[in-house]
Amino acid sequence: MQETHTIIKKTAYLDALKERVLVFDGAMGTMLQSMKLTEADFGGKALVGCNDALALFSPEVIASVHRAYLEAGADVIETDTFRANRLTLADYGLADRVIELNRAAAPVSYTHLTLPTIYPV
């Protein structure tokens, strides 16, 4: 079942590319910096600056950035997992939570959205 679902999504994406140029979202980090986030948003003082951690501690912040890009006309949004790997997250004491963090970030990219997308959810 999951494999079929993925193929359908990939096909819709490729079909859309045949029809027009797709616009991707923009700089997630720049948008987040403009929001003046607090220690609490990041999950504590030790995690300030770890934008990837927002998926765990403040998913609504990430969802708001996704919505802003979609409202601006983006067709494709990406997860907030640019540095969500064991090596980078070790700097924040999150190396053992890489899988958890990535699994938390993916749904934020679509479950909080209410705008139409190429792949309706």
* Structural domain contains residue 116: no
Query: How is residue 34 written in tokens?
Result: 């403009």
* Structural domain contains residue 5: no
* Structural domain contains residue 62: yes
Distance, in Å, from the CA atom of 64 to the CA atom of 87, rounded to the nearest integer, reads 28
Q: Which domain holds residue 52?
A: 21-111
Question: CB atoms < 10 A from the CB of 100, how many?
Answer: 13
The count of domains in the chain is 1
Q: What angle do CA 73, 79, 84 make, to 5 degrees?
A: 150
Share the mean pLDDT of the chain.
83
Distance, in Å, from the CA atom of 93 to the CA atom of 13, rounded to the nearest integer, reads 37
Q: pLDDT tens digits, residue range 67-89? A: 888 888 888 888 888 889 999 99
Which residues of the chain are under the pLDDT cut of 50?
1-7, 115, 119-121
* Structural domain contains residue 82: yes
* Structural domain contains residue 60: yes
pTM (two decimals) = 0.78
3-state helix, strand, coil in the chain (%, to 5): 60, 0, 40
